[in-house]
């Protein structure tokens, strides 16, 4: 009976592949964007994939799409951003199970003692022990003033609420979270230099020095090179400074994508033909750039499978949250049936 049920489920799956998207494999105090998978859970995901799916290099999946030969139960594994934990934690697990992955690397912070702007912003507003009560700043010509009220001091209760907050699913639970989200939304479309000016202003207001937490570092140059040397894994383009591309002119998009490609090609000494759009954000000009530059495949963050009719520069991916073994198994089966 069970066997019949399982085969019924298997045969109901359409001919489509799934591309999984991970960002961070780590144990962190908060995960407001739901993008961090604990190393133990990650190993369980990989175990399940190695037993139940055909995991192929992302390049192979894109080549199968070109030939219109996408096969059911095919999976590709991807990572975005280039955090050091991808190299230190994820790669050894993938190597152990001999499963390939593609790492899309934003190169601005490679080998640098700098956090991504969104991590530093979150740390200041959600976890600084003390902040002045009134915040004022002019961002892209608009002045905002925000009163933190009685949340200047980070109480134990506030800290716990911030550690539990899932910004994708829930409204900001505190005034600090509300201000953080407002600033995150305003900084996201800006160019990197402008984001850094705003961050400098926020640091000064909060009376803190810039610092890099080790667990928020990007890979070093040597780590990137070592990852590139692997015959199992590959590297992909994720721009230099991780801009929301659709908010910028075509020339800027071209430069961000092609300069990143040149940097990564030089670092790993191999051709790089795949792209993942930062924040999954793109417009028709982005697609023109990746087409004109000859990229073989480009990935969004739209939660869809890859099928023979998919556009090669608009390929969906499924964001993998910190799921237990059982929950991952169920979710994987659902993704494989999501058109």
Sites of contact with Zn ion (CB under 5 A): 80-81, 278
Q: Which of 111, 83, 70, 75 is nearest to 26 (CA)?
A: 83
Distance between CA atoms of residues 196 and 187, nearest Å = 9
Minimum CB separation of residue 195 from Zn ion in Å reads 14
Comparing CB distances to Zn ion, the nearer of 82 and 175 is 82
Distance between CA atoms of residues 325 and 24, nearest Å = 17
Task: Give the nearest residue (CB) to Zn ion.
Answer: 80
Comparing CB distances to Zn ion, the nearer of 112 and 153 is 112
Query: Cβ-count burial of 293 within 10 angstroms (0-12 exposed, 13-18 middle, 19+ buried)?
Result: middle
Q: What are residue 186's DSSP bridge partners?
A: none
**How many CA atoms are closer than 13 Å to the CA of 212, on its beta-carbon side?**
15
Cβ 332 vs Cβ 319: under 8 Å? no
Minimum CB separation of residue 196 from Zn ion in Å reads 18
Minimum CB separation of residue 39 from Zn ion in Å reads 20
Comparing CB distances to Zn ion, the nearer of 242 and 313 is 242
195 SS3 class:
helix
Minimum CB separation of residue 86 from Zn ion in Å reads 12
Minimum CB separation of residue 240 from Zn ion in Å reads 12
232 SS3 class:
coil
Comparing CB distances to Zn ion, the nearer of 30 and 308 is 30
**How many CA atoms are closer than 13 Å to the CA of 26, on its beta-carbon side?**
19
Minimum CB separation of residue 81 from Zn ion in Å reads 4
235 SS3 class:
strand
Comparing CB distances to Zn ion, the nearer of 192 and 337 is 192
Cβ 275 vs Cβ 299: under 8 Å? yes
Comparing CB distances to Zn ion, the nearer of 10 and 112 is 112
């Amino acid at each position: 009976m069970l066997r019949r049920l399982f085969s019924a489920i298997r045969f109901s799956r359409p001919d489509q592949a799934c591309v999984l998207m991970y960002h961070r494999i780590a144990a962190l105090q908060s995960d407001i964007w739901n993008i961090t998978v604990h190393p133990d859970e990650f190993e369980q995901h990989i175990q399940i994939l190695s037993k139940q799916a055909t995991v192929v290099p992302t390049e192979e999946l894109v080549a199968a799409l070109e030939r219109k030969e996408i096969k059911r139960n095919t999976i590709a594994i991807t990572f975005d951003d280039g955090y050091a934990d991808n190299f230190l934690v994820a790669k050894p697990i993938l190597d152990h199970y001999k499963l390939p992955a593609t790492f899309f690397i934003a190169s601005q912070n490679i080998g640098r003692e700098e956090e991504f702007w969104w991590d530093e912003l979150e740390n200041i507003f959600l976890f600084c022990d003390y902040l002045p009560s009134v915040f004022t700043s002019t961002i892209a010509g608009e002045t905002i003033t925000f009163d933190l009220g009685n949340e200047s001091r980070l109480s134990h209760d506030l800290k716990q609420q911030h550690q539990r907050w899932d910004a994708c699913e829930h409204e900001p639970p505190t005034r600090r979270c509300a201000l953080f989200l407002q600033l995150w939304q305003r900084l996201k479309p800006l160019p990197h230099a402008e984001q850094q000016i705003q961050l400098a202003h926020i640091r000064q207001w909060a009376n803190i020095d810039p610092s890099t937490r080790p667990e928020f570092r990007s890979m070093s140059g040597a780590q990137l090179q070592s990852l590139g040397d692997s015959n199992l894994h590959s590297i992909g383009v994720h721009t230099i400074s991780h801009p929301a591309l659709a908010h910028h002119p075509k020339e800027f998009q071209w430069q961000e994508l092609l300069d990143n490609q040149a940097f990564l090609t030089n670092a790993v000494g191999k051709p790089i033909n795949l792209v993942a759009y930062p924040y999954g954000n793109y417009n028709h000009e982005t697609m023109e750039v990746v087409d004109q530059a000859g990229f073989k495949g480009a990935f969004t963050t739209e939660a869809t499978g890859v099928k023979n009719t998919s556009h090669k520069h608009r390929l969906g991916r499924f964001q993998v949250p910190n799921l237990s073994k059982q929950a991952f198994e169920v979710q994987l089966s659902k993704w494989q049936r999501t058109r």
